[in-house]
Structure formats: structure tokens, C-alpha cells
Amino acid sequence: MISVVVVNWNRCDLLRGCLRSLAEQRGCGDGFEVIVVDNGSSDASAAMVEEEFPGVRLIRNRENRGFCAANNQGIAAAAGAYVALLNNDAEAHPDWLAALRRVFDAGGDIGMAASKILVWGEPDRIDKVGHLIYPDGQNRGRGSGELDRGQYDQVEDVLWPDGCAAMYRRAMLDEIGGFDEDFFAYADDAELGLRARIAGWRCLYAPEAVVWHRRGATLGLASGRRLELIERNRVLLAAKLFPWSLLWLNGVYFAMRIAAGIRASLNGKGETKHYSGAMGKWVMAKSIVRGDWQALRLIPTMLRKRRELRRIRKLNGRQTRELLLRHRISLRELSEGPL
């Protein structure tokens, strides 16, 4: 059986489309259940679920507990041997669940499955097909922004799946734990995925598992808070999981990325295009500084969790470094591509 967890916060209309796409899933064998975790929405989301989707299990939170905590609630309530996540701003092809489930038959060490995520409204453009990472901890979707010409139509190993549309083996989650709730939102899927890889689990990409995603629907692409969380969690990810051989160089790689971002900005490319004018650049700079400051306060917690990883670790520092560099994104692609 498969359990599907959908986290929602004030996106009633988007959630309706998401749940309708799940109602059309086919070929799932033992069937599936859908669990919606509502993070204290002030709109009609929860009532809509109860009225229009009576077969969906609804968990109501009184406040916004964040993406990580809400997903952990859904995972704890799930009955399936496989747990899929689907963002409320995404809609799935009818074969999505079945395609994700099939890749786990490739071996018992397959702990995660990644979807082909396309951009809503641009069905020929890729949002992400798995993930890549830069050595300072900043991660990006593989293939992000590319036209889908069949270049990613083969089942293959990827670093980890995007939490927008992913499937996890329940046995893996039981072994390594769920999402790290200190991350709250953004890079949470990176932390879980890399932790799983360090524990010896693999991730396969399923090209037939297609979803369409409305990018930035939660906080908006130009949100300072979004950028703040992304920067904060980049640092936390590296502090918790990176080998020391990369961690000592984090500041160097970060400086290189910022310099490349400034060059891209002068040419009207990259993330900076969402933050127009002098005020937009000020929002970016302030958000990065605030994110780094918040991260520094959590470093002791991450170092403690780093020591606790010894219980599940299968890859040593050298092997982890090789894994990260094998799935490294180029500086140009990182600075000029979409976030």
C-alpha cells in the first residue's frame, strides 16, 4: 500500500486541483490512501477537503508548524510501506504513483524515488528531475529550466528527490528518521535525501512519474523570507552532513557563488531577476545576512546531530565527498539558472 501526504497552508483552490489529480491515480496495485495535513489555514481549505474529498484523511493543525513538522505528522499517520509526498501546488499525471512505486523493485537499497517535475503552464519545460548540489551546500533541481526533449527519459540514479513530488520507502524512514524540523521549510528534502544517502540508501529517478508544479506558489519567487530560509538551511545542511574536507572550504565556495551571482545579475540572469531595482537587491542582501545569522545560532545543534549520525552512517567522509562532487552543479548553471 502507498500513503500520499499533502501539506497545505492557505491554498484552497490549488489543493483542490492537487487532490483531484490524486483521485485519478491508476495502477497502484494494493491501493493508496491520501492524508492532508493542514497547517492552520485561515481560508476554506480544511472545510473543502471534508466536503469534497470525504475519503481523504485530514489532520488539522491550529498553527503553521512548517513543511517539515507537517510532513512528519503525515508520515507518522501513514499506513503504507511506501510514503509519497505531493505539494499542494502540484498536480500529478494519473500514472504518477504507479511509476514511482515500480522503481523500488530494482533493489532493496532503493530508498527514494524522484519524479519528472514540469512547470505548470509550460508542459515542455522542466522544473526539476532530481537534484544537484554546489560544494557550499546550495542545491538546485537537475535540468531546471531546460526544455523537455527526452534527455531525462531514462531510469537512473540521482542524488535525492525533490520533496514536491517524491516517494520514500517506509523502512528507510523508520531507520534514519523523518524530516529535520529545525529546517522548517526549504532544503528539508535535501537534508533528508543526503542523510539517507550517507546511510547507504539510493535514489532512482522515474521519468514516467510526471507532475506539474506551480513554482513559488507558497511564499512567492521574490519573497525575502523564502531567500532567508534557503540561505539559512544551506548552512545548516553543510554543517550537519558535509564531510570536513568540504566544510572547511565552505566560505570559499560561498564567496565564489556570490561573485558569480553578481556577474549574472549584471546580465539580467539568475535569481536576481526576481528582485528588481535597488530595493530588490537590498531585500536579497538583507535576507542572505539574516539567513546566515540565524544559521550561526543553530550550528551547535547541527554539530550535535552530526555526531548522532554515527548510528546510521554507511558512507565515510571520502565517499560522501565523492557522492556530492559526482552530482555537482556548475557555478555558471547555479548562478544563471532559476532557483
Task: Say what the pLDDT of residue 274 is.
Answer: 58
Measured between its terminal Cα atoms, the distance across the chain in Å is 34
Mean pLDDT throughout 118-145? 95
Mean per-residue pLDDT of the chain: 92
In 3-state terms, what secondary structure has residue 27?
coil
> Nearest Cα to 266, choosing from 330, 320, 336?
336
| The total number of residues written for the chain in this structure | 339
- Confidence bin at 335 (pLDDT 50/70/90): confident
pLDDT digits (tens, 9 = 90+) for 200-209: 999 999 999 9
Kindly report the CA angle at 164 between 149 and 228, in degrees rounded to 5? Answer: 110
pLDDT of 273 over the 70 cut: no
Round to whole Å and give the CA distance between 237 and 250.
Answer: 11
Q: Are 242 and 303 in contact (CB under 8 A)?
A: no
Q: Are 101 and 2 in contact (CB under 8 A)?
A: yes
Task: Write the CB contacts of 175 (distance below 8 Å, at least 6 apart in sequence).
Answer: 199, 312
Task: Say what the pLDDT of residue 284 is.
Answer: 78
pLDDT of 221 over the 60 cut: no
Q: Are 27 and 98 in contact (CB under 8 A)?
A: yes
Percentages of the chain per state (helix, strand, coil), in multiples of 5 = 45, 20, 30
What separation in angstroms does the CA of 330 have from each of 166, 247, 257, 319, 327? Answer: 24, 18, 10, 20, 10
pLDDT of 163 over the 70 cut: yes
Q: Which domains does the chain have, with CATH numbers?
A: 2-213 (3.90.550.10), 224-336 (no CATH)
In 3-state terms, what secondary structure has residue 205?
strand
Is 8 exposed, middle or buried (CB count within 10 Å of its CB: 0-12, 13-18, 19+)?
Answer: buried
pLDDT of 339 over the 80 cut: no
Alpha helices in the chain (DSSP H): 12-23, 45-52, 66-77, 96-103, 170-176, 188-198, 224-241, 244-247, 250-266, 277-308, 317-326, 331-336
> Nearest Cα to 118, choosing from 203, 12, 28, 209?
209
Mean pLDDT throughout 245-267? 88
pLDDT digits (tens, 9 = 90+) for 167-212: 999 999 999 999 999 998 889 999 999 999 999 999 999 999 999 9
Task: Say what the pLDDT of residue 215 is.
Answer: 76
pLDDT digits (tens, 9 = 90+) for 86-98: 999 999 999 999 9
Task: Write the CB contacts of 234 (distance below 8 Å, at least 6 apart in sequence).
Answer: 136, 137, 138, 139, 187, 291, 295
> Nearest Cα to 244, choosing from 324, 127, 327, 190?
324
Round to whole Å and give the CA distance between 7 and 67.
Answer: 7
pLDDT digits (tens, 9 = 90+) for 6-32: 999 999 999 999 999 999 999 988 899
